[in-house]
């Protein structure tokens, strides 16, 4: 009922507006705003359109003193809009003051956070945030391919692991992975997919890493998460990028040994490096 009343009021207001030249210009103005915003046209196009509408309103509208004052006020606003089309002036009056105020509201970024952000790339995903993505760039990108070793791991150990998994048994009966699954994961290198080969890892690509996790997840989400954590949230990648050679030789190999000696349900003993750790 309320919606019908509001709709009737809007229709009556529009009908009345059509009998007045100012109302017609107002309806054209609203329609222009909606159309230009939908088409995401430039500020210059907005300004030129508003200028044409205001000129029509000034020429055809009422000529009384109050109407003249109102028209003068609208022309002052339009002048300010034209000035905003001058990019250096717009940056000086709006963009820079706004950004200074906005940056003061943001929390300070730590050096660690900055390094983490700068460690990766946005690839083509960044195009989506431009508002006009270059689809040809995406179409030109070659699809990733598994190496022979990665495909063999996917068809061999990964397939064998999937045959050992029973998600109901893992989550509802054991609340843990079976001992034979833990042993298989440790001895077949599932926890060392991102560790370089020279440190005893598999050195798989991100695509291979994703394929392995997706295949395991088709049988057991719990096991897939168990494999994913040391290959993503673990310290191996940070050590590989930012650690010294001495730290890599010790921790990457020691971390692999530590995982290989881990018992189900028990955390590994802390590792003590044979060299001093500098204070941060």
Structure tokens, 271: 């590792």
CA–CA dist 254, 257 (Å, integer): 5
pLDDT of residue 233: 78
Q: Is the pLDDT of residue 190 over 90?
A: yes
Tens of pLDDT, residues 193-251: 999 988 888 999 999 999 999 999 999 999 999 999 989 877 888 888 888 888 888 88
Q: The pTM is what?
A: 0.52
- Specify the DSSP class assigned to residue 274: S
Among 138-142, 154-158, 271-275, name the one with the lowest average pLDDT: 271-275
């Amino acid at each position: 009922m309320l919606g019908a009343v509001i709709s009737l009021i809007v229709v009556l207001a529009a009908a009345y507006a059509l009998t007045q030249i100012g109302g017609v210009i107002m309806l054209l103005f609203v329609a222009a705003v909606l159309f230009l915003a939908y088409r995401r046209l430039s500020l210059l196009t907005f300004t030129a359109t508003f200028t044409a509408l205001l000129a029509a309103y000034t020429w055809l509208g009422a000529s009384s003193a109050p109407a003249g004052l109102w028209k003068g006020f609208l022309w002052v606003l339009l002048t300010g809009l034209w000035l905003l089309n001058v990019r250096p002036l717009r940056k000086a009056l709006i963009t820079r003051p706004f950004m200074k105020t906005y940056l003061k509201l943001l929390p300070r970024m730590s050096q660690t956070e900055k390094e983490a952000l700068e460690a990766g790339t946005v690839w083509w995903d960044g195009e989506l945030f431009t508002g006009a993505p270059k689809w040809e760039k995406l179409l030109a990108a070659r699809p990733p391919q598994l190496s022979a070793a990665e495909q063999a791991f996917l068809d061999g150990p990964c397939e064998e692991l999937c045959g050992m998994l029973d998600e109901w048994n893992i989550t509802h009966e054991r609340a843990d992975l079976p001992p034979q699954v833990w042993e298989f994961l440790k001895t077949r290198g599932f926890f060392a997919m991102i560790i370089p080969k020279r440190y005893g890892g598999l050195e798989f690509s991100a695509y291979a890493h994703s394929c392995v996790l997706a295949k395991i997840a088709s049988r057991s989400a719990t096991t897939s998460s168990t494999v994913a954590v040391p290959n993503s949230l673990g310290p191996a990648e940070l050590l590989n990028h930012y650690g010294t050679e001495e730290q890599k030789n010790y921790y990457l190999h020691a971390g692999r040994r530590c995982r290989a000696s881990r018992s189900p349900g028990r955390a590994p003993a802390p590792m003590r490096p044979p060299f001093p750790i500098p204070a941060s």
